[in-house]
Amino acid sequence: MITYSVDNMSLIPKNQGIYAFYINMISPAKIGLIGNEGFSNDELLNAKKLLIRRFKKYLAFIRSDKLVGNLVEEGKAEHVSRKYSIIANGYTSSGSLEKMMALSLDEIYKYAKISELLSIFAQPIYVGITTNQTLFDRYIQHKNDFEYGTDKPSFGLRMRKNGLDWDDLLFSCVELGTDTHNKNIISALEKQLQSVSMPLLSVR
């Protein structure tokens, strides 16, 4: 599947379709390893520190969800049953972080290089559709919301409020031909994808 970033966003299709955003927090460049291998120990040590810092930021984001609800005692009438309100905050195991911290300096560059290729294996953070706009125009709208949005609810604004950077995103899409521009079908497909992938920053 083709993915797009700020570096090649001009290639995003100028047609309608279904799209998703993924987080790409780790790559050699993002942890300061630019160019070919042959980095000094100091460069690799700094890269490892940055790798861990970025991964912690990613974990904090994907576990920032909060669940709010009510429980009612089963088998009793409403007026005599005990009731509870609950708040649950997401958390993740520290096992993945421990594995990362155990990497040797010689393994850091290759780890970051492979990690960059696996970004779309993770849960998408947003799934959307276009019916009147092109995929490219929708991408630009989200980007503008991220950079300039103030109070209008939007994916871009939610990204910024979560402390993420726009260049941490990968954009992937399926372009639909003119014979599939049935809004009911496209909308149903969007809801199907949202229900199975549970994108973190989609709200409806």
In a domain, 192, yes or no: yes
- Per-residue pLDDT at 106: 94
The whole domain housing 93 covers 3-197
Query: Chain-wide mean pLDDT for the chain?
Result: 88
Tell which residue, 58, 198, 196, 172, has the closest CA to residue 115: 58
**Which tops the pLDDT comparison, 5 or 180?**
5
Question: Is residue 181 very low, low, confident or very high in pLDDT (cuts 50, 70, 90)?
Answer: low
- Per-residue pLDDT at 102: 94
In a domain, 202, yes or no: no
In a domain, 204, yes or no: no
Percent of the chain with pLDDT strictly greater than 70 = 96
In a domain, 41, yes or no: yes
One DSSP character per residue, 50-113 reads: HHHHHHHHHHHHHT--EEEEEEE-TTS-TTTS-EEEEEEE----SHHHHHHHT--HHHHHHHHH
Lowest mean pLDDT of 7-11, 68-72, 185-189, name the range.
185-189
For the chain, what is the domain count?
Answer: 1
- Per-residue pLDDT at 182: 72
In a domain, 203, yes or no: no
In a domain, 119, yes or no: yes
- Per-residue pLDDT at 95: 78
Q: With 60 as the cut, is the pLDDT of residue 179 above it?
A: no
pLDDT mean over 114-138: 90
pLDDT digits (tens, 9 = 90+) for 57-97: 888 887 777 789 998 988 888 888 899 999 887 776 667 88
Tell which residue, 204, 189, 202, has the closest CA to residue 21: 202
pLDDT mean over 11-18: 92
